[in-house]
Structure 1
Amino acid sequence: MSRLSRANLKGRESVFAGGPDLYRGEIQATCPPSLEECVSVMEDCCAEAYQAHVFLNNGTKDLRRMNRVLQSQRIFLLVGEDTVRKYKADLTDEIEPAINELIELAQQGLSSLQKKESLLQTKLDTAQSRTTRPTASAPASRKMDARRLQTLTKQREALELEVQALETELLGKGAKS
């Protein structure tokens, strides 16, 4: 008799040790202890896989930008140093005359301000020598001299400030070139 001709009236035996359980639906289903262990181990594996995914994602989320940075470096390495020196020399030749002209203008302005300062200083000295001389002039002329002295002093202070500003500007431009 062949195996197929005989009817098998018994159900298949379960591979799990807990015995056959009837299907009760997912809400009411109970899991045998051997499956519970398997499920908990699988959940642990899934948690570790998720943590590994998060770690890998955090480590590589900047990969596109880093690739662009490295590619630009490769492009820079393709340019020879002779080419860089040539362009640097061209740029220097183009900018240097303008910078020298600006420095010369600043020096001329500084020298004219120094001349003005010395002129005002001599005027101040002469005005002070006039006020120290005993004169028989009226008090009105003394008041006028005092006012003139004040205006000259203010002008001198303003010119000193301008000289200082030009000196700092000249030093700043001299340091850049």
Structure 2
Amino acid sequence: AMETIPPEIFLEICRHLYVKDLYTLTLVCRPYRKILWSKTISIQKIWTSSRVLSFDTYLPYPTLPPPNSMSEQEYIWFTMLADKCSICKTKIEKQELFVCRYWEFGRICCKECIEKKTIRKIKNSLPKDLLGCVPYHERHVFNLGDEKLYWADDLHSFESKYHAFEDEQQRDNWVKVKREEGYLDSITNVSYIVI
């Protein structure tokens, strides 16, 4: 099929497709998938057009660009197409999806899985500067106040990396870089939550 359609025509057709149709096209054959999953600017623009074209009333931020950590394809999947918990694969009702998206972790989780996969109580043995590097989700719990949720695997991974440095200067530089990355991501994530 691809051999009979000039690439320029194929891409022009793609520019006018809704997200679900464009995503379905990636499943048709490997050549389509290879083209449409590319991270090139021209392909990212096609996905952006599709996302804006596919406005959804449950999606209050369709014209915002994706966070720095996501491509258009990942952003569209995360915000418009995914409807199951990324852990247990339980379907989540459309009206509940907004509160089940955990931008900080890049996951959609049902209530049960977010409770199983996150840590609230942090060991006192963890260095304070390490916690500034690890992504967390902050939520308000009625009668208890605010609490931070850390993705357990992330926390363990960051802790292992932190303790693997033998040179204190290298570790401090790593912490500084991770904090800056986390700060920039948190600014981006807040813009999606506030809107």
TM-score in same-fold range (> 0.5): no
Per residue, is there more strand in 1 or in 2? 2
Bigger helix share:
1
**Higher relative contact order, structure no. (Cα contacts within 8 Å, ≥ 6 residues apart):** 1
